[in-house]
Amino acid sequence: MANRELAVLFLCSGNSARSVMAECAMNRWGKGKFKAFSAGSHPTGIVHPMTIQLLNQLNYETSGLRSKSWDEFARPDSVPLDFVFTVCDKVAGEMCPVWPGQPITAHWGAADPAAFEGGHEEKRRFLFRVYRELENRIKIFASLRIEALDSFALQRQVREIGKIKLPEGRE
């Protein structure tokens, strides 16, 4: 596993906010070690505009981002996946396709910023909080010495990472 970039897929139902932010963060913090993708069970077809705005403010390249179906990653000729992380409770409860590569899976649930109700500034702060929670998990995951862990220990580690939340009031 350690001799190549490991493929990581982040799943959410709409693939418009959380999974897209996770894809970007993993490609930044896991550069050279991981290659991230995102998809949705029922993609909206667009990346949420506030997500694009936030990612641009954080100096991410956003021109190639798009909301896409998880079917793109379930075909026999798709990239073999090493990890699949669900980032929303809805998709975690759905019947997922069979993924090429027998990936290690975990649920890294985060609140849905696209469904958050409030004023523009409240929505922006909430979106940033969700981003920071996902980024924190990704930084921890990217720092793991994966080559030193057997598959059971690795599965346990990625599930524990999914339970990490930001302390209240920390943004």
Q: What is the pLDDT of residues 103-159, one digit of tens each?
A: 999 999 999 998 888 899 999 999 999 999 999 999 999 999 988 888 889 999 999
Instruction: Give domain status of residue 1, yes or no.
Output: no
> Rounded to two decimals, what is the model's pTM?
0.92
Q: How many domains does the chain have?
A: 1
CA distance 152 to 42: 31
* Number of neighbouring beta carbons within 10 Å of residue 14: 24
Residues assigned a catalytic role: 12, 88, 96
CA distance 14 to 69: 9
Instruction: Give domain status of residue 168, yes or no.
Output: no
Instruction: Give domain status of residue 86, yes or no.
Output: yes
Instruction: Give domain status of residue 101, yes or no.
Output: yes
CA distance 112 to 123: 11
Q: What is the pLDDT of residues 54-96, one digit of tens each?
A: 999 999 999 999 999 999 999 989 999 999 999 987 766 767 7
Q: What is the pLDDT of residues 21-45, one digit of tens each?
A: 999 999 999 999 999 999 999 999 9
Instruction: Give domain status of residue 170, yes or no.
Output: no
Instruction: Give domain status of residue 166, yes or no.
Output: no
The single-letter code of the amino acid at 76 is: P
CA distance 31 to 6: 10
Give the CATH number of the domain where residue 50 resides.
3.40.50.2300
Full domain range(s) for residue 133: 6-161
Strands 104-107 and 34-40: unpaired
Contact 10, 34 (CB under 8 A): no
